[in-house]
Amino acid sequence: MIKRTLEISREPAHLSLRHEQLVLKRDGQVVGTIPCEDIGLLMVDHPQTTYTHSALARLAESDAAVVICGHNHLPVAMLLPLADHSQVVWRLHDQLGVSRPLQKQLWKQLVQAKICAQAENLLTESSPRRKLLALAKEVRSGDPRNIEAQAARVYWANWLNTDSPRQLDTETFRRDTNGTGLNGFLNYGYAVVRASIARAIVAAGLLPSLGIHHRNRSNAFCLADDLIEPFRPLVDEKVREMHSQGYEELNQPAKAELLEVLTQTMQLGEQTGPLMVMLHRMVSSLVRCYAGEKKQLEIPIPCPPIPDL
């Protein structure tokens, strides 16, 4: 079942529960009801939003992730369900016992997938694109030479080099996690995908804090930060497209547009489906890697565009 994404940012709302339905009220009047089981992600970006305990508890029981945004409109916290998977103890045992060589091999696969996806965002037959594809082949187990960073320098220097009439001078853009403008768009989009990945991790009975490569005692989502890498270019492409369409402020319409990344059709083997669904399948393949059943992580890729007739 394809879960829905709900965003609250334009006006405040009071969220309550009635007959297993999430009830949205404004000024005491019901403006909408949604079955809790249909919700996969709730993004809250209005400071006057209020909740009942029962609403939050039922969303968690329905495996929904609730993301709270701060004063800068970027996510600052997540509410995730506690895994109720029947094999959670065994899966945590496998996750805790994963060997260092396997972790390095998995990180290599994630970095290669990320760099190849970045290359897809650059102009066809361009020198930077060829450079990225060549760098992807140089990634070794654990990426000891930090090819990921080398690729990032090439990528961001050419990210806005498109045929768009609204193309920016590439010298004016610098990727900055604390920046505004296009950086703010990127940060918000990454946070949306990160939350969906964290939800998939918990649903699979794994701990999101135990990463493959990322290790930070203050980061509760190290594994999500590992698995998001191949999907960052999806957000990059979306933000670049929005820039070409004239989006300049990270307002409600812009956020709604960024949420559409989760519905982008992806391909995994012979299967296709929205990103939100395919993330669960990727995490399932990670579970099999942890269990020693396979060594290759299954990473979804965007479906090729349908050619014009």
pLDDT score of 170: 45
pLDDT score of 190: 95
Average pLDDT, the chain: 89
**Mean pLDDT to the nearest integer, 32-59:** 93
- What is the Cα–Cα distance from 152 to 159, expressed in whole angstroms? 10
- What is the Cα–Cα distance from 49 to 262, expressed in whole angstroms? 24
Residue 205 in tokens: 């009975």
307 pLDDT above the threshold of 60: no
pLDDT score of 216: 80
**Mean pLDDT to the nearest integer, 229-240:** 98
169 pLDDT above the threshold of 50: no
Residue 91 in tokens: 């899966």
Where in the chain is CATH 3.100.10.20? 4-79
pLDDT score of 231: 98
**Which tens digits make up the pLDDT trace of 257-271?**
999 999 999 999 889
pLDDT score of 305: 67
Q: Which residue has better confidence, 236 or 216?
A: 236
**Helices marked H in 18-126:** 53-61, 88-96, 100-120
**Mean pLDDT to the nearest integer, 39-49:** 91
Residues 34, 22 contacting (CB under 8 angstroms): yes
Is CATH 3.40.50.1010 what the domain over 4-79 is classified as, yes or no? no
308 confidence band (pLDDT: 50, 70, 90): low
pLDDT score of 287: 94
Residue 308 in tokens: 């014009």
pLDDT score of 163: 60
Provide, for the chain, the percentages of residues in helix, strand and coil under a 3-state DSSP scheme, each rounded to the nearest 5.
Answer: 45, 15, 40
76 pLDDT above the threshold of 90: no
309 pLDDT above the threshold of 60: no
Q: Which residue from 63, 28, 26 is spatially nearest to 42, judged by alpha carbons?
A: 63
306 pLDDT above the threshold of 80: no
We find that the CATH architecture of domain 88-302 is: Up-down Bundle (1.20)
294 pLDDT above the threshold of 90: yes
Bridge partners (DSSP) listed for residue 44: 8, 68
165 pLDDT above the threshold of 50: no
**Mean pLDDT to the nearest integer, 45-74:** 89
pLDDT score of 21: 94
Of 23-37, 167-181, 206-220, the one with minimum mean pLDDT is 167-181
**Mean pLDDT to the nearest integer, 27-45:** 92
204 confidence band (pLDDT: 50, 70, 90): confident
**Which tens digits make up the pLDDT trace of 176-196?**
888 889 999 999 999 999 999
- What pTM did the predictor assign? 0.84
51 in helix, strand or coil?
strand
Residues 132, 155 contacting (CB under 8 angstroms): yes
Neighbours of 213 (CB within 10 A): 19
Q: Position 246: which residue type?
A: G
Where in the chain is CATH 1.20.120.920? 88-302
pLDDT score of 171: 46
Q: Which residue from 159, 80, 173 is spatially nearest to 126, judged by alpha carbons?
A: 159
Beta strands in the chain (DSSP E): 4-8, 14-18, 21-26, 29-35, 39-44, 50-51, 65-69, 75-79, 265-268, 271-274, 301-302
